[in-house]
Structure 1
Amino acid sequence: MAATFRRAMDALYLLCVIVGCTALVLISAIIPWAVFTRYVLNSAASWPEPLAVLLTIVLTFIGAAAAYRLNLHMNVGYFADQLPQPFRKLLELLVQILMALIALFMIVWGESLVEVTWHNTIADFPFLSVGVTYLPIPIGGLCLLLFIVERIWLGIPPDPIPAHHEVAPFE
């Protein structure tokens, strides 16, 4: 059961990374286009900025869940590292419980936000529901919650990228 859950979380992590990286690449392509149309063509396109904002929402909430899984997010562990081992484990559990509350908040209130705004449209994208644009909030919260359950149950997953001293040198 634990191995199956770990593999499922590996697949979910990979999906989150692909979605987050795709959003980042698209943002990186859209912003220069906006600058080009505004300053070179003297005719600013209206869609790049709102699309970049929507992609930033995807990158933020889905990418943050992926970063949290491997502990790649910003954190300050100095004071926690000074504690004796039993207290460190207790503090780590407390942090995971607090993060689970944040994830639940994202799921519940994010879903509510999606529901309330589902029938609204975006001026620059009239075919797109505002609710759809907020879907990364509850989806990111659910991914985060699953990664927290994994961390509490199975521990921090192994890093898929080996440390630099484990990598074979270029020949």
Structure 2
Amino acid sequence: MAALYRRTMDALYLVCVIVGCTALVLISAVIPWAVFTRYVLNSAASWPEPMAVLLTIVLTFVGAAAAYRLNLHMNVSYFADQLPGRWRRLLDLVVQLLMGLIATFMIVWGARLVEVTWYNTIADFPFLSVGVTYLPIPVGGACLLLFIIERIFLGAPPDPLSQDHEVVPFD
């Protein structure tokens, strides 16, 4: 059962990374288009800036969950590292439980925000519900909570970069 959960979290992590990277690539394409239309065509497009904001929301909440899984987020662990092993493990459990509380908050209140704003539209994108734009909050919270559960019960996932890979030099 633990192996199945770990593989499922690996797959979820991959989806989060793909979604986050896609959002980042699209942001990198949209912003230059805005600059091009404004300064080269002298006719600024109205949609790139709100599109970049919406993509940033996706990148932030989904990408943060992926970063948390591999412990790539910003943290200060100097004092925790000075503790004896038993106290360090207890502190890590407390941190995971507090993060679980934050993830639950994101899920509950993010879902309420989505529900309340579902029938509103965005001026620049009248076909798009405001609720859809807030959907990354509860989705990112759910991913984060699943990654926290994995960390509590199965330990930290293996770091894919720490494995010994054979480096083949270019010929």
Match of 1:145 in 2: 145
Paired with 2:99 and 2:34, the residues of 1 have a C-alpha distance of 37
State the identity %: 79
Partner AA of 1:85 in structure 2: G
User: Following superposition of structure 1 onto structure 2, how do residues 8-157 of structure 1 map, counting pairs within 5 Å?
Assistant: 8-157=8-157
Does 2:3 align with 1:3? yes
More strand per residue: 1 or 2? 1
- Deviation (angstroms), 1:162: 3.5
Paired with 1:167 and 1:67, the residues of 2 have a C-alpha distance of 25
Paired with 1:86 and 1:169, the residues of 2 have a C-alpha distance of 41
Provide structure 1 residue ranges, at least 5 long, that are not aligned to the other structure.
none
- Deviation (angstroms), 1:161: 2.5
- Deviation (angstroms), 1:106: 0.2
Paired with 1:141 and 1:158, the residues of 2 have a C-alpha distance of 22
Q: TM-score, normalised by structure 1?
A: 0.97
Q: Cα deviation per residue 1:132-158 (whole Å; 9 max; x = unaligned)?
A: 000000000000000000000000001
Partner AA of 2:21 in structure 1: C
What SS class does the counterpart of residue 127 from structure 1 fall into? Answer: coil
Partner AA of 1:103 in structure 2: A
Q: TM-score, normalised by structure 2?
A: 0.97
